């Protein structure tokens, strides 16, 4: 019964993460195949790394269902593209839902392999976030995981909530539910009240503001050494 419940959660999480990846690819005007690829990588990237680290069979290689769920996600985005692509709130909803469900899956699978709780929390964070990191890299933008947004912190908080319920003698279902709710509520509160972690600054604020105004490409170009001029020899 527990395996069936976890499988359902994994399928729902795959659908949610695939939607977030395909929606972002559509916003950047990818074609259908490119959007499907981004959605698939978003959905299976974290779980693939988790299974490799745990030394178990990679989950999506055992059945074609995850590829089919990603295809269904592509169809949903195509049919409802005006609603899904034009709204940033829809990306947040699907990304948060996928994050919460995949953290639960990562923790549960790690504990099933008899790993300690701290490893399970790390694996939960990897399962929930690594697919999103790959998604952002593929569409050539700074990964959300590394920004000041409450993302990795939400994974950690959800894992700690899971541990707290287990330490108190609660059921697995209660631990899974509280873990997912903690992540969802924390992400929603961060969006509502603009919560964020402190930025690791360097030098002074003027340098940072100049770099932000110019953009990463221009600020990086200023750090390059000047090119040496080549003097052509005059022909006699």
- pLDDT tens for residues 32-91? 999 999 999 999 999 999 999 999 999 999 999 999 999 999 999 999 888 877 677 877
Confidence at 217, pLDDT banded by 50, 70, 90: very low
**Contact present, 97 and 104 (Cβ < 8 Å):** no
Rg (CA), the chain: 21
**What pLDDT does residue 164 have?**
96
Average pLDDT over residues 202-227: 45
pLDDT, tens digit (0-9, with 9 covering 90-100), for 120-160: 999 999 999 999 999 999 998 888 777 767 888 999 999 99
**What pLDDT does residue 191 have?**
86
- Give the Cα separation of 124 and 106 in Å (integer): 4
**What pLDDT does residue 236 have?**
52
**What pLDDT does residue 224 have?**
42
- Give the Cα separation of 42 and 57 in Å (integer): 19
Average pLDDT over residues 199-221: 49
Average pLDDT over residues 183-210: 76
Q: Burial letters for 58-81: b for 16+ Cβ neighbours within 10 Å, e otherwise?
A: ebbeeeeebbebbeebbebbeeee
**What pLDDT does residue 216 have?**
39
**What pLDDT does residue 70 have?**
96
**What pLDDT does residue 212 have?**
46
- Give the 3-state secondary structure of the chain: CHHHHHHHHHHHHHHHHHHHHHHHHHHCCCCHHHHHHHHHHHHHHHHHHHHHHHCCCCHHHCCCHHHHHHHHHHHHHHHCHHHHHCCHHHHHHHHHHHHHHHHHHHHHHHHHCCCCHHHHHHHHHHHHHHHHHHHHHHCCCCCHHHCCCCCHHHHHHHHHHHHHHHHCCCCHHHHHHHHHHHHHHHHHHHHHHCCCCCCCCCCCHHHHHHHHHHCHHHHHHHCCCCCCCCCCCCCC
pTM (two decimals): 0.81
**What pLDDT does residue 203 have?**
60
- pLDDT at residue 223 is higher than 60: no
User: In whole numbers, what is the pLDDT of the chain averaged over residues?
Assistant: 84
Average pLDDT over residues 157-168: 95
- Give the Cα separation of 236 and 55 in Å (integer): 72
Return the percentage of the chain with pLDDT > 90, whole number: 58
**What pLDDT does residue 199 have?**
79
- pLDDT at residue 219 is higher than 90: no
Average pLDDT over residues 110-121: 95
- Give the Cα separation of 119 and 87 in Å (integer): 36
């Amino acid at each position: 019964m527990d395996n069936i419940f976890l499988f359902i959660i994994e399928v729902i999480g795959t659908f949610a993460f695939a939607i977030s990846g395909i929606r972002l690819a559509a916003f950047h005007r990818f074609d259908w195949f490119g959007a499907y690829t981004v959605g698939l990588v978003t959905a299976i990237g974290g779980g693939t790394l988790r299974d490799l680290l745990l030394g178990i069979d990679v989950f999506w290689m055992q059945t074609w269902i995850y590829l089919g769920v990603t295809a269904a996600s592509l169809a949903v985005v195509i049919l409802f593209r005006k609603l899904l692509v034009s709204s940033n709130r829809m990306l947040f909803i699907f990304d948060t839902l996928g994050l919460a469900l995949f953290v639960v899956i990562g923790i549960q699978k790690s504990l099933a392999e008899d790993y300690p709780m701290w490893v399970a929390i790390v694996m939960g964070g990897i399962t929930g976030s690594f697919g999103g990191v790959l998604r952002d890299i593929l569409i050539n933008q700074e990964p959300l995981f590394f920004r000041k947004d409450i993302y990795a912190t939400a994974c950690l908080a959800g894992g700690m909530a899971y541990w707290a319920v287990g330490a108190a003698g609660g059921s697995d279902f209660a631990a899974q539910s509280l873990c997912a709710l903690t992540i969802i509520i924390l992400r929603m509160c961060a969006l509502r009240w603009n919560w964020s972690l402190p930025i690791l600054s360097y030098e002074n604020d003027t340098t940072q503001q100049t770099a932000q105004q110019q953009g990463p490409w221009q600020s990086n170009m200023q750090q390059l050494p000047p090119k040496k001029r080549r003097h052509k020899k005059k022909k006699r």
